[in-house]
Amino acid sequence: MLREYIMLTRRKFLEKAGVVFLGAGASMLTAYGKPAIFANNGGKKKNVIWILADDLGYGDVGSYGCRDISTPNIDRLAQDGAMFTRSYAYPACTPTRAALLTGRYPEKAGITGVLMGKGGMDSSATTIAEVFKKSGYTTACIGKWHLGYAGDTLPNSQGFDFFYGHRGGKIDYFKHTDTAQKLKNDPNGKHDLYKNQTEIFEENKYSTNLFTNSALNFIKENSSKPFFMYLAYNAPHYSRHKELQAPGISHHQVGQSSTREVYAAMVECMDEGIGQIIKMLESAGLADDTIICFISDNGADPVHGGSNGLLREKKGTCWEGGIRTPLIIKWPGLSTNGTKINCPIGIYDLFPTFVKKLGLKYDIKNLDGVDISGIFKSDNVLARRNIYLRFASQGAVIDGKWKMMKDKDQRFLFDLENDFREQHDLANEHPAVLDKMYNSYLGWEKTLIKPLKKRSM
């Protein structure tokens, strides 16, 4: 008998369907830094867990308005912490991961696109794991890496004491093979599951559960010392040959179920794993000493079951549906739980924020991200600045309510406070704003020509 979360009947699914969208114009508890205060932790080092979902859309989480997928544990993080409604990632896997882990624009870390079986991040880029490790933390990367396939581009050479997961961008959830890593006469591709540098075989075990179990073991083994765990689920990204795979659902059953139903089962399995992690932290007495950050690496692709709510377009684009993603931070000591923050931030801001707020040993002044911890203080607001993103032929710059979007030779201008769906192009009505933002974007692009070099720690 399948577990309860595995299968929604088509009738129940249709009854539950429909997303209530939390748009930029909606009523928010917090915008640009209204009360939510970080408490002093008395000097004790807090553990840090970053949980990264893969291709999870803005409309796929209950706390962001989803009504047809059950995510009680992610929602609980939002209830106990802060939920960001305008958090921006890159439109695809690899660039976001590079920006998240280095605090830099991905181009400066040697990443200009999605890795497909070869290449890797510039090993001279300092990762947040290296900073945590230098500051006395035990570090782990569990799940999807997608920043390199060999040598000094692998997690153990990038500051992680422990690695359990896959090197590439996607794997079969049961066979753990990657079609992007080609093998002659084998359409399934190379086997891709490792513990540190050693290839391991766990065939027929669902990868989401494997990663959850590895995370639980890591917490158990390191409960007496400060740790940083980067848990990058591959769910709900499609697997080999662009198939969706959920635990307990056979290929025959997948054919009988809608794409959204299978996608929902994948998300709910991940959410259940997050619940197990929360429960372990509580039972071990670590909940009040552990910061949990939940993120998605880019928008969803509706073709593969995901939803971006009412946002325009999807993964792989610089429209809001490709770059605006869920971000939830549960930081024990916040005076107001369930806070919603409408201030736009970039994925590269998390690195300097955690370094600054935790007092880690690293100079953040030359990073591209900024410390956003001011938005959690009653007397400070985050200084207004531009957020830049680009991917393939598209690019965007966000300045407060304004967004300039370019697609090849076309330029668009949107007022996101009043038009988060990007339905009304204001380029002709505000040409001066458009030109100013476009020139700023061109100036930013020039800074990406030469990658920054690693600084001494």
- Residues annotated as catalytic (active site), given as ranges: 93, 146
Alpha-carbon span 409 to 394, nearest angstrom: 9
C-alpha 83/C-alpha 78 separation (Å) is 6
How large is the angle between the packed helices 72-80 and 259-283, nearest 10 degrees? 50
**Long-range residue pairs from 221-226, CB within 8 A, at least 24 positions apart, any chain:** 222/138, 223/284, 223/286, 225/137, 225/138, 226/45, 226/46, 226/47, 226/136, 226/137, 226/138
**Residues contacting residue 291 through CB under 8 Å, at least 6 positions apart:** 46, 47, 48, 49, 329, 330, 331, 332, 354
Cβ atoms 151, 130 nearer than 8 A = no
How far is the CA of 399 from the CAs of 18, 231, 403, 413, in angstroms?
Answer: 31, 31, 6, 11
350-358 and 93-102 helices, crossing angle to 10°: 20
Q: Where on the phi/psi map is residue 338: left (φ > 0), alpha (ψ -120 to 50), or beta?
A: left
Coil, strand or helix at 334: coil
Contact yes or no for 353/82 (Cβ under 8 A)? no
Inter-CA distances, 180 with 122, 152, 190, 196, 197, Å: 20, 20, 8, 21, 20
Query: Rounded distance, CA 148 to CA 150, Å?
Result: 6
Taking each helix axis from N to C end, the angle separating 259-283 and 207-221, rounded to the nearest 10 degrees, works out to 10
| Tokens 């933390």 sit on residue | 137
Rounding to the nearest 10 degrees, give the CA dihedral for residues 402, 406, 411, 412.
-40
DSSP 22-74: --TTS--SBSSS-S--PPP-TTPPPEEEEEEESS--TTSSGGGT-SSS--HHH
